[in-house]
Amino acid sequence: MTMHPLPDDGRRRRSDRRVRAAGLLKAVFWLTVAMTVVLFGLWGGPERLTPGTALTSAGTMAGLIGTDLVLVMVFLAARVPLVDRIVGHDVALAWHRTLGEPALYLILAHFALLTVGRATENGRNVAAETLALIGGPDDTGLAYLGLATFLLVVVTSAVAAIRRWFSHEAWFAVHALSYLGIVMALPHQSMDGAVLDPRSNRYVYWLTLYAIAFGAMLVFRVVVPIVRSARHGLRVTRVERIAPDVVSIHLTGRHLDRLRAAGGQYAIWRFWTRATWFHGHPVSLSAVPTATTARITVRALGKGSDRISRVRPGTRVGFAGMFGIFTAAARSSPRLAVVAAGVGVTPVRALLEDSALRPGEATIVLRGSGEDDRYLWDEVSALAETTGSRLVLMPGSRAPGGDSWMSAQAVQEGVVIEKVFPDLSDSDLYVCGPPAWADAVVRDARATGLPAAQIHLERFGW
């Protein structure tokens, strides 16, 4: 489907609505934290802040807020369509990761303060009280095990040096343990006076939060993908090698136009073979789907992507999505500026195909270091010619030091981003490529004064 061009004021209003919706979404998340504090107060929390129980009361408060943040994290990772339309799934996951460390610190404080507080109340040392809690009859030992699991997940997610040790499959398996950790804490939260105790006046509120978070996870990460995959019946029809390490995978299916996929979006693809069934791959569309066909383009960057580049025609394909707001619908400005490098050209190619552009409206820059990483350049060139867009090809290695996103030759010639995009201030800038390279493009654009709201980034990573 090709987007019909909106008047410039229409684009701006749509962009403003999305910004307001994103602000409202954040406000709702913070409202849950505020409600946690209010309910603690109504439950009698401040009345319990006596010298003898101050530590245990503070520990309870820390645990409540930490639990709330964990449930928000679960919701953000659930691929809820409304959240994706407002901020994009990649931004939702960034928020999810940002909350991981504060949630962990609060839960650690919950355990530490409760243990020290009860040790003080019972006249024991901390080690003896810890052993008593772990071995006690109130499921606290299971909660300690859940804490250890959650700690493992957050550390492997937040510490980049550790995360690089893992393959995607291993990292995903470790990350899935976070849900097991939450389940382990449920019996502890169901004990007398706790938030999930049916006799507690907070029971309905907390049960609602759990139902929303895990209900969204079940519906949008399990049920909807299974139903859609069965309904559309995708299969591989052809695997086209376009470079030594890049293939375009052609798919056929039923009623694919009903997905209402936009150029620039991606899905989580699962190829049902013995070597690939256990790994879902986030890959962008490299062409706008028709009613019966779709295409993705994949570069073999690891074992998983290498395996799917070897799938055979006839292979069944499951999917979740479509995701992302790297689309023409996110535009707010009269002009379009696009920069893509390497396999980052794939969503850009689909974005251009799906955009109704006036002659001279768009400027497209394609970067590639060598002959083998100029993927789909011929197709982008054809689209640029058809729409009357300005195309700038910038081949060659980056300048020494890697600070610039441009080629070494362009840097030597004194090329700057304002020369490449003379109307950048009146443009939406779309950037797609390796993370460090994309960050360099964004840095240069921001240095010119381009607002963050006019910059659209599609990152490849996990």
Span 212-266, pLDDT tens digits: 999 999 999 999 999 999 999 999 999 999 888 889 999 999 999 999 999 999 9
282 conformational bin, left if phi > 0, alpha if psi -120 to 50, beta if neither: beta
Q: What is the DSSP string of 344-396?
A: GHHHHHHHHHTB---TTSEEEEEEESSGGG-TTHHHHHHHHHHHT-EEEEEES
- Lowest pLDDT segment from 57-66, 112-121, 162-171, 381-390: 162-171
- Lowest pLDDT segment from 136-145, 258-267, 399-408: 136-145
The reported pLDDT for the residue numbered 19 is 85
| Residue extents of the structural domains in the chain | 8-221, 233-323, 332-459
The count of C-alpha atoms lying within 13 angstroms of the C-alpha of 121, restricted to the half-sphere facing its C-beta, is: 14
Are 265 and 322 a contacting pair, CB within 8 Å? yes
Q: Sorting pLDDT into bands at 50, 70 and 90, what band is 461?
A: very low
- Residues 89-107 as b or e (16 or more Cβ within 10 Å = b): bbbbbebbeebbeebbebb
pTM of the model: 0.82
Higher pLDDT, 331 or 191: 331
Q: What is the distance between the alpha carbons of residues 86 and 449, in angstroms, rounded to a whole number?
A: 24
Higher pLDDT, 189 or 105: 105
pLDDT in tens, 418-444: 999 999 999 999 999 888 889 999 999
Are 1 and 262 a contacting pair, CB within 8 Å? yes
Are 308 and 252 a contacting pair, CB within 8 Å? no
The reported pLDDT for the residue numbered 411 is 87
Which whole number is the average pLDDT over 108-136?
A: 72
Q: Sorting pLDDT into bands at 50, 70 and 90, what band is 193?
A: low
CB atoms within 10 A of CB 409: 13
Going by their DSSP bridges, the two strands 266-271 and 281-287 should be labelled as antiparallel
Residue 386 scores a pLDDT above 60: yes
The reported pLDDT for the residue numbered 161 is 46
Q: What is the distance between the alpha carbons of residues 355 and 264, in angstroms, rounded to a whole number?
A: 10
Q: Residue 428, SS3?
A: strand
Q: Residue 299, SS3?
A: strand
Q: Tokens 């460090």, residue?
A: 436
pLDDT in tens, 287-327: 999 999 999 999 887 777 788 888 999 999 999 989 988 99
CATH code for the part of the protein at 233-323: 2.40.30.10
Residue 48 scores a pLDDT above 90: no
Second CATH level (architecture) for the domain 332-459: 3-Layer(aba) Sandwich (3.40)
pLDDT in tens, 319-358: 998 998 899 888 889 999 999 998 889 999 999 999 889 9
Q: Which two tokens stand for residue 83?
A: 């959240």
Helix axes of 168-189 and 140-158: crossing angle, nearest 10 degrees: 150
Task: Quote the strand ranges of 77-222, DSSP E.
Answer: none
